[in-house]
Amino acid sequence: MAYRVKEIFYTLQGEGAQAGRPAVFCRFSGCNLWSGRPEDRATAKCRFCDTDFVGADAGVFATAEELAQTVAATFPVLDPQAYGGRKPYIVFTGGEPALQLTRELIDRLHALGFELGVESNGTLPLPEGLDWITVSPKGSNPLATTSGHELKLVWPQQGCSPEDFEDLDFRHFLLQPCDDPRNKANTRECIAYCLLHPRWSLGLQTHKWVGVR
């Protein structure tokens, strides 16, 4: 299959339990919950997305090998000593990466020595072999991926509440304030909820604070 990629870039992970970790992000084009076009937002299954995933600005890659080599070349340093015993980290995101991510690409990047994470809306099955799975539910859309390493709920949002997900098999449960005009009020609500429901931790978009992508 050909892989359509919006962007590939090196930065710090800004969200979740891996926040602050250097990583290359591979953002796939396309999503199954929204076209990405403003005129379609009112009818989208996800209405608060803040990401541009339309187009293949980073390229269309004919093979897993071609994309793997391009992602690997984005790292400014690959010397194992620089990583202090851990592996260089790649995050697949979107859009919805499950539309394009394949086991072939995962295996090729593992063979090159990378640790692999994914950020998914959870509505589609993910290929096996990923090292870190983040699921971010969107409204009442049913989940196909019900276990992983962290569940990140943007809140408040219509169609779901934190209680809907507490029986799922995740290591971390993160409540992230919705970044809309009510952001300050949303943050207060998330803090109050976490204080009363200690299973949940407050999730913040730290990359927006420090001015990185």
Mind telling me the catalytic residues? 25, 31, 46, 49-51, 119, 207
Q: Give CA–CA dist 154/8, Å, rounded.
A: 24
Identify each DSSP E strand in the chain by its residue range: 3-12, 22-28, 59-61, 89-93, 115-120, 132-135, 147-155, 169-177, 200-202
Q: Report CA-CA distances (Å) from 29 to 24, 97, 114, 136, 170.
A: 16, 8, 22, 17, 27
Q: In this structure, what DSSP letter does residue 143 have? A: P
